[in-house]
Amino acid sequence: MLLRHIRYLLAVAEHRNFTRAAEALHVSQPTLSQQIKQLEDTLGAPLLDRTGRSVRLTDAGEAYVRFARLALQDLQAGTRAMHDVQDLSRGNLRLAMTPTFTVYLIGPLLAQFNSLYPGIVVSVEELTQDRIEAALAQDQLDIGIGFTGEHLPDIECEGLFVEELSVVVSASHPDLGGQHWLQQPLVLLNSGFATRRYIDDYCRSQDVKPQIAMEANSISAIIEIVRNTTLATILPSAIAWAQVGLSAVPIHPALPQRTAALLSRKGAYRSAACRAFIELIKAPPTTD
């Protein structure tokens, strides 16, 4: 039995259609059908139900595919391990983080990483934490940066530092003290972001309803809106410190602090590049 048979089966299971799976695999449909039939003959059980309008896995197929995916992930990790260069002269790192970290953390961090290891090719994605954990579980990422809390069963979480949220306004905005920010028009991330859900939970706990003038799905857009208007927002204080023309105003009572964390798949192989990145992000900050 070849790895090709397993990849073909997983493609059909994903697309639920032989034609679309064949197109994705760049093979002919008869070739795909023949390979799946060979796999079924080898295993001695039908893996696909072809009687409906779409192809679906049989009970035996469901059981087999679950382990086939895990096996393929481990084999792909084995390939990466075989080609892993321990002296860090070359290699690859697949990294993702939740959106707030792209504004103040990832730029300086990757600049330092690149200066230390210029031969490492880094692939960076900005994703919600749910999508980061799903990608880690499917071995599509090496490491993620998100937050502590509830996680998928196969996700390992290691706390990094505490992040504090505050009101963020333009530097020319009148000072907002106490809870006056609740009476100010706000521009906030939309409800698809963990930060927004965190803010909504806080408002419910304080029995208040914020005045939301705008919503956006981009932190960069929110920063520009705040910088050029009298609107306020609620973001990590570190963003205001890192951005010219912004100020952070403490919230009273303060939002509960949240802990930034490294996310990875339990038991996943860590390349030399991945280990070097983890060592760098966990290192205490340097002072000039």
CATH of domain 3-74: 1.10.10.10
Specify the domain boundaries for CATH 1.10.10.10 within the chain. 3-74
Which residues of the chain form beta strands (DSSP E)?
48-49, 56-57, 91-97, 120-126, 143-147, 155-163, 165-170, 186-189, 212-216, 233-236, 246-249, 258-265
Where does CATH 3.40.190.10 sit in the chain? 91-161+259-282
Omega before 253 within 30 of 0, i.e. cis: yes
165-256 CATH fold? D-Maltodextrin-Binding Protein; domain 2 (3.40.190)
Which one is predicted more confidently, 147 or 176? 147
Segment 12-30 mean pLDDT: 92
pTM above 0.75, yes or no: no
What pLDDT score does 223 carry? 94
Residue 27 has pLDDT above 50, yes or no: yes
Tens digit of each residue's pLDDT (9 = 90 or more) over 133-162 = 999 998 899 999 999 988 999 999 999 999
Q: Is the pLDDT of residue 175 over 70?
A: no
pLDDT at residue 37 greater than cutoff 70? yes
* Comma-separated ranges of CATH 3.40.190.290 domains in the chain: 165-256
Give the class (CATH, top level) of 91-161+259-282. alpha beta
Per-residue pLDDT of 213-272, as tens digits, reads: 999 988 999 999 999 998 999 999 999 888 888 988 888 888 888 899 999 999 888 888
At residue 179, the pLDDT reads 54
